[in-house]
């Protein structure tokens, strides 16, 4: 029952965004000109025809770390809620868990995985 | 409570949230321009209306009457879907924001929160991180290299600060023993302390993460106009272009500021003297003073964000991710450890 | 200073096959083309002429060995300048191994004269597009160019061909590049090695004008960079050959349009040196010129500071800087009547005396300005983000400075004491007291500090000039009087000014580096050849080197710290 409000807001927002997207098409002028739809690259001819190519990113390993840490934080949420009822046992257990987590972070730090990876693929 | 009454209440709440997103969101552009202008020793918009009061309206009309252009070789579906993916999740965060205390009108007890569920905070973070799809899709769909670079930069920020923001939020949750936004505020009121006094580290980390997730200076690298023109929005025009800053700079800042207020600043509670009680200069308003306090707190946070935005230079992308993983995350982990010692000492 | 008799004799002793010549204005070493590289190498390594200043070609129109090439070198330790000359029919050996800056100078000479450089790694045009087939600076290329393309004016497009009188322009224009030409040029300049090639500029807020950079990107890392110049190319050197000396002044305004007064001054001093009238220019005019140039320098550095901060995201500093800049603009407008393209100096003096109250206004400005500067430094200089973005970015060693021919604040940021105002004082610079700030690490942060400190030093100079000018009476002359008006006509309009045959290289310290003029006169009303040595052009040539393996985000930092102006690069 509690989620009815959320769903109705979702429906309203979806409708609203569709309206906002199409308003320009309804209200704006429509005038065709050559090169109007040419992709913007500082007003000169494109070197590569498309931008949808492989594009190396330096944070690939950070992405993997995100998966690990986000899953672990999901374990921590329920623990955080009931922490006071668990007593010393709950504290030590999660302390060990966090130590292992931190060790992983330290390991990644030492391996320089937290910096941007640019030299992995040499040209 | 009858079905009709329930429906009416929900409808009112939805309309209020819509008004926040569209009305206040749009008018915050004027606030931002005025604040920025006065930081820079100039008057700002002065022509349209008294002190530029009608400026957002004029901007809106201008944006709406622009031509709708789809760049050649852009993907029509993804190009438009990006806007939906940016706007909808960002506004859904408001569903779990408690704007004030429970009020009693026309014989009904109404909580001013759209969806009061016991996982409110997790939902807020879930919707918050969905926002990256809007940026990523727009970067890919517009088929421009500037947009692509900007979108990938934003993804890099989100990857880093998602972890930080959730770890930072664990502290208040441990103290409040609840994931419901409403209950977290109530816990602060019962314990007579705002969590900012117990969680200063996590508060600072959260503020930084807020700046990063919303793409505010010093983390506005995804649109860094000097490098990438405007980054991922470079191929958008008209209202489509207008929606991205609206969502990123206003709706998201407002929603995350609200969450910040809930977690650290005691939601709608008045001025707090730690462990002693609350002082309310607006006591004569009865239960309505809570709304005033909530608005005041969010406004102060928004002004803080503006102040930083118009003063600082911006970081480089690798520096941003490095700070997140090497400074913010250890701080957040350390904070959890401290909280583990503090939490049992709090009563209630 | 020109190289002394002693140095020339030593060179002659060491390299017997050269010929040396020295007069009051210039010291020249003549050498044959085949022996050029060895001579340059000896002069560079054994005689310490390490800093590359300029290289270009003169079209002599002689039947044999039509082109005369000159290389201008500088010895920073002994403060001597030398010119090496050689003659050629159509080709020269490339000096790219001795000076990288020579590579760019050679590209320009290839572009303008069609000289072929043997051993040049990538000989492409500097300013024109690669499919252009003429060489504009040759004497047989007409001033108005070759007509090629029909480009009707807007009026003609709307109203058709029925326009008469002044509305009806000529419809044919010189050759303009088409999209195909540009595409060919861009693919010719850079061969893709990594993932995508990004066009950064010409219509881009971060490039400080219409510069067209090509970044070959592997992710956000820049693998290789090239610059396509010439979007603002107007052929100023060609125009100079067809204008009287005084009339050319207005073109110097339009070169470095941010520091027009400094360019004016440099040109005027160069012509005065060629005429030999530097000593008869009245003291008042000298002080006025110096003061105005320093005002312009502050003005120019403020624009640099504003855009630099803007590029790094601090928009507020930009507006603060522009507010102060506006005050200087108003002062300059009050004195000269113009804000941007000023043309205030004249050969032999200045256009008019200072108006009443000008000194008081300047005095009150320089009293207030240092406080303002201190405020901005509080926001930036110790800011952690600012330090992170600037420290260890774009590091230039002392050797780099010489190898790439860098001058101005860029050279001083790396600790090279190279300031024309001190080395070769012109106008009143020898009579005022000021310091030259030097950097230590040669990174962007040092260049930032050097420029900020330079503004303070400029304030000092202005203060002294104002004090001096206050003691001068209203009736003192501001324009030199010629002893013999029949031989030398010095007037405000400069009409009929005849310059004797000779050549000179004279330079001024512009905010963006050394602005030098090599003037070759065969006598008469117009110069035979003017080579402008733009500071920005050579400062920019180090950019591809600095951008290697850096992020896209560093592109703005490094470019803004080099502070080029397109008007001066392209000319």
The pLDDT tens digits of the residues spanning C372-385 come to 889 888 888 888 88
CB contact under 8 A, B238 and A28: yes
Among A9-13, B23-27, B294-298, B321-325, the range scoring the smallest mean pLDDT is B23-27
Which of these, C284, C289, C273, C420, lies nearest to C342 by C-alpha position?
A: C289
CB contact under 8 A, B173 and A95: no
CB-based burial, C290-300: b 16+ in 10 Å, e otherwise = bbbbbbbbbbb
C335 and C477 in a single domain? The answer is: yes
Q: Is the pLDDT of residue B346 over 80?
A: no
Q: Which residue is closest to B75 within chain A, CA to CA? A: A52
pLDDT (tens digit, 9 = 90+) per residue, B199-243? 889 999 999 888 888 888 788 887 777 778 877 888 888 888 888
Q: Is the pLDDT of residue C410 over 70?
A: yes
- The pLDDT assigned to A118 comes to 62
The SS3 call for residue B41 is coil
Distance of CA B50 to the CA centre of its chain: 29
- The pLDDT assigned to C459 comes to 92
- Residue C126: which pLDDT band, with cuts at 50, 70 and 90? confident
Among A114-118, B340-344, C76-80, C462-466, the range scoring the smallest mean pLDDT is A114-118
- Tell whether B39 is within 8 A of chain C (Cβ): yes
Q: Does a structural domain hold residue B293?
A: yes
CB B41 within 8 A of CB B70: no
Q: Is the pLDDT of residue A120 over 70?
A: no
- The pLDDT assigned to C43 comes to 85
C104 and C250 in a single domain? The answer is: no
From CA B283, how far away is CA B296, in angstroms rounded? 15
Q: Does a structural domain hold residue C279?
A: yes
Q: Does a structural domain hold residue C9?
A: yes
Average confidence (pLDDT) over C297-318: 89
C551 DSSP β-pair partners = C221
**Helices (runs of H) and strands (runs of E) counted in chain B:** 15, 4
Token pair 């602060």 is found at B188
Structure tokens at B177: 């023993």
- Measured in degrees and rounded to the nearest 5, phi and psi for residue C91 equal -140, 155
Distance of CA B317 to the CA centre of its chain: 22
Token pair 């941003």 is found at B320
CB C534 within 8 A of CB C400: no
To the nearest whole Å, the CA of C286 is away from the closest chain B CA by 37
Q: Is the pLDDT of residue A112 over 60?
A: yes
Q: Which helix (H) or strand (E) holds C17?
A: none
To the nearest whole Å, the CA of B152 is away from the closest chain C CA by 10
To the nearest whole Å, the CA of B196 is away from the closest chain A CA by 18
Among candidates A41, A118, A121 on the partner chain, residue whose Cβ is nearest the Cβ of C199: A41
- Angle at which helix B145-176 crosses helix B181-191, to 10 degrees, equals 40
Q: Does a structural domain hold residue B20?
A: no
To the nearest whole Å, the CA of B282 is away from the closest chain A CA by 30
- Measured in degrees and rounded to the nearest 5, phi and psi for residue C150 equal -90, 115
Which of these, C265, C244, C427, C260, lies nearest to C345 by C-alpha position?
A: C265
- Tell whether A61 is within 8 A of chain B (Cβ): no
- The pLDDT assigned to B300 comes to 92
Q: Is the pLDDT of residue C339 over 70?
A: yes
* β B103-105/C502-510 pair status: unpaired
CB contact under 8 A, C556 and B221: no
What contacts B345, CB < 8 A, 6 or more positions away? Answer: none
From CA B202, how far away is CA B210, in angstroms rounded? 12
Higher pLDDT: C56 or C149? It is C56
CB count within 10 Å of CB C192 equals 15
C118 DSSP β-pair partners = C93
Token pair 């800011």 is found at C383
pLDDT (tens digit, 9 = 90+) per residue, C472-519? 888 888 888 877 777 777 888 878 888 888 888 988 888 888 898 999
Q: Does a structural domain hold residue C100?
A: yes
- The pLDDT assigned to C379 comes to 85
Among candidates C203, C219, C549 on the partner chain, residue whose Cβ is nearest the Cβ of A56: C219
Q: Which residue is closest to A42 within chain B, CA to CA? A: B229
From CA C150, how far away is CA C240, in angstroms rounded? 27
C346 DSSP β-pair partners = C349
Q: Is the pLDDT of residue A121 over 70?
A: no
- The pLDDT assigned to A122 comes to 43
**For C289, which DSSP code?**
H
Write down the mean pLDDT value for chain C: 86
CB count within 10 Å of CB C273 equals 20
Higher pLDDT: B131 or C71? It is C71
Write down the mean pLDDT value for chain B: 85
To the nearest whole Å, the CA of A32 is away from the closest chain C CA by 19
Long-range contacts of C146-154 (CB under 8 A, 24+ apart): C146/C174, C146/C175, C147/C172, C147/C173, C147/C174, C148/C172, C148/C173, C148/C174, C148/C175, C148/C176, C149/C173, C149/C174, C149/C175, C149/C176, C151/C176
Token pair 């290389």 is found at C71
Q: Which chains touch A (3 or more CB pairs under 8 A)?
A: B, C
- The pLDDT assigned to A1 comes to 67
Q: Does a structural domain hold residue B53?
A: no
- Tell whether A64 is within 8 A of chain B (Cβ): no
Q: What's the CA angle centered on C449, arms C443 and C454, to 5 degrees? A: 125
Residues spanned by the domain of C22: 5-118
- Of C60, C88, C118, the position where a domain reaches its end is C118
CB-based burial, C372-385: b 16+ in 10 Å, e otherwise = ebeebeebbeebeb
- Tell me the C-alpha to C-alpha distance, in Å, between residue B247 and each of B64, B92, B260: 17, 12, 18
CB contact under 8 A, C556 and B227: yes
From CA B143, how far away is CA C530, in angstroms rounded? 47
Among A61-75, A106-120, C6-20, the range scoring the smallest mean pLDDT is A106-120
pLDDT (tens digit, 9 = 90+) per residue, A28-70? 888 888 888 888 887 788 888 787 888 877 777 788 888 888 8
- Of C59, C93, C118, the position where a domain reaches its end is C118
- The pLDDT assigned to A117 comes to 65
CB contact under 8 A, C552 and B145: no
CB contact under 8 A, A58 and C219: yes
- Tell me the C-alpha to C-alpha distance, in Å, between residue C472 and each of A12, A16, C367, C469, C478: 78, 74, 22, 5, 11
pTM for this prediction: 0.88
From CA C491, how far away is CA C497, in angstroms rounded? 8
From CA C513, how far away is CA C541, in angstroms rounded? 13
Average confidence (pLDDT) over C403-429: 88
Q: Is the pLDDT of residue B75 over 60?
A: yes
Neighbouring C-alpha atoms within 13 Å toward the C-beta of A19: 6
* β C67-75/C80-88 pair status: antiparallel
From CA B147, how far away is CA C31, in angstroms rounded? 55
The SS3 call for residue C87 is strand
- The pLDDT assigned to C383 comes to 87
From CA C24, how far away is CA C157, in angstroms rounded? 57
Residues spanned by the domain of B167: 69-345
CB B183 within 8 A of CB B121: no
- The pLDDT assigned to B347 comes to 62
CB contact under 8 A, A38 and B72: yes
Sign of CA dihedral C375, C381, C384, C387: positive
To the nearest whole Å, the CA of B253 is away from the closest chain C CA by 19
Question: Alpha helix (H) ranges present in C312-357?
Answer: 315-336
- Measured in degrees and rounded to the nearest 5, phi and psi for residue C99 equal -140, 125
CB contact under 8 A, A47 and C199: yes
A interface test, pick of B75, B162, B166 with most A CB neighbours within 10 Å: B166
Token pair 């052009």 is found at C537
Q: Which residue is closest to A35 within chain B, CA to CA? A: B72
pLDDT (tens digit, 9 = 90+) per residue, A86-97? 778 878 888 888
Residues 387-426 of C with CB under 8 A from B: 388-389
Q: Does a structural domain hold residue B45?
A: no
pLDDT (tens digit, 9 = 90+) per residue, C167-177? 666 767 788 88
Q: Which residue is closest to B15 within chain A, CA to CA? A: A9
Structural domains of chain A sorted by starting position, each given as residue range(s) with its CATH number in brackets: 4-122 (1.20.58.1610)
Token pair 């850096």 is found at C550
- Tell whether C189 is within 8 A of chain A (Cβ): no
Question: Alpha helix (H) ranges present in B111-223?
Answer: 120-141, 145-176, 181-191, 195-198, 200-214
CB contact under 8 A, A51 and C195: no
From CA B228, how far away is CA B83, in angstroms rounded? 20
CB count within 10 Å of CB C405 equals 30
Among candidates C220, C316, C386 on the partner chain, residue whose Cβ is nearest the Cβ of B317: C220
Domain total of chain B: 1
Q: Which residue is closest to C393 within chain B, CA to CA? A: B316
- Tell whether C383 is within 8 A of chain B (Cβ): yes
Q: Is the pLDDT of residue B122 over 60?
A: yes
Q: Is the pLDDT of residue B90 over 50?
A: yes
From CA C527, how far away is CA C65, in angstroms rounded? 21
Structure tokens at B258: 């609200």
Q: Is the pLDDT of residue C3 over 80?
A: no
Structure tokens at C206: 């971060």
From CA C230, how far away is CA C130, in angstroms rounded? 11
- Residue C6: which pLDDT band, with cuts at 50, 70 and 90? confident
Among candidates A6, A57, A83 on the partner chain, residue whose Cβ is nearest the Cβ of B174: A83
Structure tokens at B229: 């023109």
From CA B27, how far away is CA B48, in angstroms rounded? 13
CB contact under 8 A, A62 and B91: no
Q: Which chains touch B (3 or more CB pairs under 8 A)?
A: A, C
Average confidence (pLDDT) over C183-194: 85
Which of these, C529, C528, C532, lies nearest to C516 by C-alpha position?
A: C532
pLDDT (tens digit, 9 = 90+) per residue, C59-105? 888 888 888 899 998 888 888 888 888 988 888 888 888 888 888 88
Token pair 């709406």 is found at B64
CATH code for position C21: 3.30.460.80
From CA B92, how far away is CA C295, in angstroms rounded? 56
- The pLDDT assigned to C450 comes to 92
Domain total of chain C: 2
Q: Does a structural domain hold residue B325?
A: yes
- Tell me the C-alpha to C-alpha distance, in Å, between residue C146 and each of C127, C135, C143: 17, 11, 9
- Tell whether C198 is within 8 A of chain A (Cβ): yes
From CA B254, how far away is CA B263, in angstroms rounded? 14
Among A43-52, B339-348, C202-211, C256-265, the range scoring the smallest mean pLDDT is B339-348
Q: What percent of chain B has pLDDT over 90?
A: 3
Token pair 């512009």 is found at C510
- Tell whether B347 is within 8 A of chain C (Cβ): no
């Amino acid at each position: 029952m509690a989620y009815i409000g959320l769903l109705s807001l979702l429906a309203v927002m979806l409708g609203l965004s569709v309206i906002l997207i199409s308003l320009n098409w309804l209200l704006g002028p429509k005038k065709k000109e050559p090169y109007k739809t040419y992709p913007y690259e500082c007003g000169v001819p494109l070197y590569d025809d498309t931008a949808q190519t492989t594009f190396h990113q330096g944070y690939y390993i950070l992405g993997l770390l995100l998966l690990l840490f986000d899953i672990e934080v999901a374990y921590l949420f329920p623990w955080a809620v009931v922490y006071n009822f668990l007593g010393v046992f709950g504290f030590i257990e999660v302390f060990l868990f966090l130590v292992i987590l931190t060790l992983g972070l330290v390991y990644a730090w030492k391996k320089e995985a937290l910096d941007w990876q640019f030299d992995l693929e040499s040209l | 409570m009858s079905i009709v009454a329930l429906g009416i209440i929900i409808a009112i709440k939805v309309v209020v949230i819509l008004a926040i997103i569209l009305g206040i969101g749009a008018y915050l552009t004027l606030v931002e321009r005025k604040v920025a202008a006065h930081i820079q020793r100039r008057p700002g918009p002065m022509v349209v209306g008294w002190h530029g009061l009608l400026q957002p309206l004029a901007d809106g009309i201008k944006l709406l009457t622009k031509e709708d252009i789809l760049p050649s070789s852009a993907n029509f579906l993804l190009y438009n879907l990006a806007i939906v993916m940016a706007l909808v999740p960002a506004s859904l965060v408001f569903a779990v924001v408690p704007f004030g205390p429970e009020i009693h009108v026309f014989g009904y007890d109404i909580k001013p929160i759209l969806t009061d569920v016991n996982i409110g905070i997790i939902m807020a973070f879930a919707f918050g991180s969905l926002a990256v799809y809007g940026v990523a899709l727009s970067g890919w769909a517009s088929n421009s290299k500037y947009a692509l670079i900007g979108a990938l930069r934003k993804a890099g920020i989100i990857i880093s600060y998602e972890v930080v923001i959730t770890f930072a939020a664990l502290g208040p949750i441990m103290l409040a023993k609840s994931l419901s936004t409403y209950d977290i505020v109530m816990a602060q009121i019962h314990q007579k302390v705002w969590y900012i006094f117990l969680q200063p580290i996590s508060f600072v980390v959260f503020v930084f993460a807020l700046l990063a997730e919303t793409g505010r200076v010093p983390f506005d690298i995804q649109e860094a106009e000097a490098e990438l023109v405007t980054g991922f929005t470079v191929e958008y025009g008209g209202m489509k272009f207008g929606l991205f800053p609206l969502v990123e700079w206003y709706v998201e800042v407002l929603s995350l500021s609200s969450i910040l207020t809930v977690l650290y600043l005691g939601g709608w509670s008045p001025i707090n003297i730690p462990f002693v009680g609350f002082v309310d200069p607006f006591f004569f308003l009865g239960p309505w003073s809570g709304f005033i306090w909530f608005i005041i707190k969010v406004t102060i946070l928004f002004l803080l964000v503006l102040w930083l935005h118009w003063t600082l230079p911006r970081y480089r992308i690798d520096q941003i991710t490095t700070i997140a993983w090497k400074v913010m995350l250890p701080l957040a982990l350390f904070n959890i450890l401290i909280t583990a010692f503090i939490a049992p000492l709090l009563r209630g | 200073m020109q190289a002394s008799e002693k140095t020339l004799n030593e060179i002659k002793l060491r390299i017997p096959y050269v010929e040396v010549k020295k007069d009051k204005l210039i010291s020249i070493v003549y050498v044959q083309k085949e022996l050029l590289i060895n001579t340059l190498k000896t002069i560079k390594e054994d005689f310490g002429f390490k800093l590359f200043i300029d290289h270009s070609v003169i079209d002599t129109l002689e039947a044999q060995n039509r082109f005369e090439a000159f290389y201008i070198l500088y010895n920073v330790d002994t403060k001597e300048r030398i010119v090496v000359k050689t003659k050629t029919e159509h080709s020269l050996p490339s000096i790219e191994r001795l000076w990288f800056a020579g590579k760019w100078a050679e590209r320009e000479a290839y572009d303008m004269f069609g000289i072929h450089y043997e051993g040049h790694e990538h000989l492409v045009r500097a300013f024109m597009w690669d499919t252009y087939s003429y060489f504009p600076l040759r004497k047989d290329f007409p001033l108005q160019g070759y007509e090629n393309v029909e480009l009707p004016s807007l009026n003609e497009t709307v109203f058709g061909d029925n326009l008469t009188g002044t509305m009806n322009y000529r419809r044919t224009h010189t050759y303009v590049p088409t999209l195909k030409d540009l595409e060919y040029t861009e693919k010719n300049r850079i061969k893709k090695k990594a993932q995508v090639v990004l066009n950064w500029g010409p219509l881009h807020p971060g490039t400080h004008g219409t510069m067209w950079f090509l970044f070959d990107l592997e992710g956000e890392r820049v693998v290789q960079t090239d610059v396509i110049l010439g979007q603002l190319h107007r052929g100023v050197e060609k125009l100079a050959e067809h204008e009287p000396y005084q009339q050319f002044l207005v073109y110097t305004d339009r070169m470095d349009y941010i520091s027009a007064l400094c360019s004016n001054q440099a040109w005027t001093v160069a012509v005065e040196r060629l005429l030999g009238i530097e000593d008869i220019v009245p003291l008042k005019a000298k002080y006025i010129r110096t003061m105005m140039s320093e005002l312009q320098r502050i003005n120019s550095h403020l624009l640099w500071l504003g855009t630099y901060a803007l590029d790094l995201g601090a928009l507020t500093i930009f507006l603060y800087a522009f507010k102060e800049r506006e005050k200087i603009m108003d002062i300059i407008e009050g004195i000269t009547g113009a804000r941007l393209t000023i043309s205030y100096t004249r050969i032999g003096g200045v256009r008019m005396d200072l108006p009443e109250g000008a000194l008081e206004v300047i005095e009150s400005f320089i009293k207030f300005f240092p406080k303002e500067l201190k405020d901005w430094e509080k926001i930036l200089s110790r800011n952690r983000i600012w330090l992170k973005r600037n420290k260890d970015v774009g590091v230039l060693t002392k050797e780099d400075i010489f190898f790439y021919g860098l001058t101005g604040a860029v050279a001083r940021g790396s600790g090279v004491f190279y300031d024309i105002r001190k080395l070769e004082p012109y106008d009143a610079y020898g009579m005022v007291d000021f310091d030259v700030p030097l950097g230590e690490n040669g990174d962007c942060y040092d260049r930032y500090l050097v420029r900020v400190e330079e503004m303070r030093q400029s304030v000092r100079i202005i203060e002294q000039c104002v004090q001096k000018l206050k003691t001068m009476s209203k009736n003192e002359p501001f324009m030199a009087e010629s002893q013999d008006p029949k031989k030398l006509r010095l007037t405000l309009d400069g009409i009929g000014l005849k310059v004797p045959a000779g050549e000179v290289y004279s330079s001024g310290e512009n905010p963006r580096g050394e602005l030098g003029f090599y003037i070759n006169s065969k006598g008469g009303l117009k110069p035979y050849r003017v080579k402008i040595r733009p500071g920005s052009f050579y400062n920019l040539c180090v950019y591809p080197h600095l951008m290697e393996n850096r992020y896209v985000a560093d592109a703005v930092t490094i470019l803004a710290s080099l502070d080029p102006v397109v008007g001066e690069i392209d000319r």
